[in-house]
Amino acid sequence: MSLAGTTLHPATSRFLDRPPTMLIGGRWVGSARDETLATLDPATGATLAHVPAGGPDDVDLAVSAARRAFETGPWSRATPGERCRMLWRLADLVDAAAGELAELETLDSGKPLSASRGGDIPAAAEMFRYMSGWATKLEGTTIPVGPPGSFHAYTRPEPVGVVGAIIPWNYPLVLAARKIAPALAAGCTVVLKPAEETPLTALRLGELVAGAGFPEGVVNVVTGYGETAGAALAAHPDVDRVTFTGSTDVGRRIVEASSGNLKRVALELGGKSPNIILEDADVDAAIRGATRAIFTNAGQVCYAGSRLYVHRRLFDRVLTGLSASAAAIRLGHGMEPDTQMGPVVSDEQMQRVLGHMERGVAQGARAVVGGRRRGDTGYFVEPTIYTGLDDATDLVREEVFGPVLVAAPFDDLEEVASRANHSVFGLAAGVWTRDVSTAHRLAARLRVGTVWINGYGASDVALPYGGVRQSGWGREKGREGVEVFTETKTVVVTL
């Protein structure tokens, strides 16, 4: 198959032509109602493939399969070492299929192939590899209680059970790995519900799971719409924990749906992250960093640096440099080798972004660069920078999830710290300064989950990641990312 002047990997073409099936209990099946949905190429609007439109009946089957695997199947007897080896093999299989996975990710989400191949796929493999090590390192403790020799008391970390994992469309494979890997390391079983816009790599990952030796039912993949399959998974009475990444509004609905059986919920939600350039910053480095912070993945990044605060003495210089960088970004189909930024994921998302922009202009925003849709094919939005807004306006307060930056000057540290914290979100922030003391003081004052100093977006599988306030509950990655899938049992033996 040829697309955008590029010949696809034969395995990619075969996968796109496969029957519309999903993974439930080790079998590839259609939806109970025999319904499908189309997944589109956001650069053209053309249909790539059809996948099952799963619903509550399919979710019920998947949860039942996961419950059997957890309680009575071979997985329930697997040793930590066996879990470790299976996860490592899965990482190797992801690496081996990297070319195909990268093409599927780019076609489905629109991001440049270089980003998929060089970033997303290796990151997913690394998550499985890193979490494989935690399978053998979850340990309890012995606690001395009572008179010496009277009791033997200890704790056991145990898997929480069946996990419902619901992921968004901006980093499909990375986020699938971020949910599945720690859950499996802890000994849980999983029902994965990918976003309806980007289900392809999740389904391909399901094929690789079987190849890595995981027993039937340990990982299930149910495709479908959020309001049907996603809602059914969140509300299912036999799911023990839900882990969700997505918007804050949907996160609230997840919490409400999960209340029936008081299941535990982990949430990685939205953000409106401040990026702060102080007077003594390396201006050229800050401009490069601020460009990446907002325009990477067409701004569809939960921690995107979408609020830029620049010291007033540097504001014009920074704005000129940022505008030039934004104007030079090459938009195009993700499969084209010179593309630097692709489309947003769907027509719905494009209209949402454009709506934010229109309301911003109505409230006084001035576009320094961009401000429009690009072309009439696909879902492209120009890299956009606005000025002229105060902190109470919608464009400054609300998450846009697109390539839209609002920039404003500030005069002193107290002012910018207060303005940066004036948000319902608290996911991440950036600080640019040559003064290490100022950097640490400001980092301590910012009410966010992650602060980057003289960089933006640096990440590692070992670093805990998550937000405060309406940016979420709990942490992913690192030790904390696997411990959320365990429960602590206390055992007391009378001697």
71 as an active site residue: the answer is no
If residue 488 lies in a helix (H) or strand (E), which one and from where to where? Answer: strand 486-494
CB count within 10 Å of CB 302 equals 26
Sheet containing 472-473: give its strands across. 27-29, 22-24, 219-221, 189-193, 162-166, 241-245, 264-268, 472-473
Task: Say which of 302, 336, 382, 399 is annotated catalytic.
Answer: 302
Identify whether the C-beta of residue 3 lies closer than 8 Å to the C-beta of residue 107.
yes
CA torsion angle 92 94 99 104 (round to 10): 170
Contacts of 436 (CB under 8 A, 6+ apart): none
Identify whether the C-beta of residue 240 lies closer than 8 Å to the C-beta of residue 162.
yes
Q: At what angle do helices 172-186 and 200-211 cross, to 10 degrees?
A: 40
Contacts of 189 (CB under 8 A, 6+ apart): 66, 67, 69, 70, 75, 161, 162, 163, 183, 217, 218, 219, 220
CA distance 347 to 300: 14
Where residue 262 falls (left for φ over 0; alpha for ψ -120 to 50; beta otherwise) is: left
Which pair of structure tokens corresponds to residue 160?
Answer: 């929480």
Q: How far is CA 476 from CA 127, 182, 481, in A?
A: 11, 9, 4
CA distance 402 to 357: 10
158 as an active site residue: the answer is no
Amino acid at 323: S
How many residues comprise the chain? 495
Task: Label the pairing between strands 428-432 and 274-277.
Answer: parallel
Nearest to 111 by CA among 354, 401, 331: 331
Task: Say which of 100, 196, 268, 382 is annotated catalytic.
Answer: 268
Catalytic machinery residues: 268, 302
